[in-house]
Amino acid sequence: MTPLAIVLALLFEHLRRLPAGGTLDTPASRFAAALAERYNDGRARSGRLVWLGVVGGAVVVTLTIHALLLSLDPMAAFGFNVIVLCGTLGAHRESRIFREIHVALRLGELARARQMLGVWRGASVPRASEAEVVRLAIEHALISAHRNIFASVFWFTLLPGPTGAVMYRLAAVFDSTWGVRQDSDFGRFGVFARQAFQMVDWAPIRLTAATFSVVGNFEDAVLCWRTQARQWMEYSSGILLASGGGALGVRLGLPIHEHGRSIERPALGCGEEARVEFMQGTVGLIWRALCLCLLVLALMAIAG
- 281 within 8 A of 288, measured Cβ to Cβ: no
Burial of 2 (0-12, 13-18, 19+ CB in 10 A): middle
Assign residue 300 a region (left: φ > 0; alpha: ψ between -120 and 50; beta: otherwise). alpha
Checking 96-101 for CB contacts under 8 A at 24+ apart, the result is 96/17, 98/137, 98/140, 98/141, 98/279, 98/282, 98/283, 99/283, 101/133, 101/137, 101/279
Task: Kindly report the backbone phi and psi dihedral angles of residue 275, in degrees, each rounded to the nearest multiple of 5, phi listed first.
Answer: -130, 165
**The model scores a pTM over 0.85:** yes
Number of separate domains in the chain: 1
The bridge status of strand 256-258 relative to strand 251-253 is unpaired
Assign residue 11 a region (left: φ > 0; alpha: ψ between -120 and 50; beta: otherwise). alpha
**Tell me, what's the pLDDT at 302?**
83
- Stretches where the chain sits below pLDDT 50 are 20-21
| One-character DSSP codes across 223-258 | HHHHHHGGGSSSHHHHHHHHHHHHHHTBEEES-EEE
Upper half-sphere CA count for residue 133 (Cβ side, 13 Å): 32
pLDDT digit string, tens, across residues 136-178: 999 999 999 999 999 999 999 999 989 999 999 999 999 999 9
pLDDT digit string, tens, across residues 2-27: 788 888 888 887 776 555 445 577 78
Range of the domain at 205: 2-303
**Tell me, what's the pLDDT at 35?**
93
Assign residue 262 a region (left: φ > 0; alpha: ψ between -120 and 50; beta: otherwise). beta
**Tell me, what's the pLDDT at 79?**
93
Task: Kindly report the backbone phi and psi dihedral angles of residue 60, in degrees, each rounded to the nearest multiple of 5, phi listed first.
Answer: -65, -45
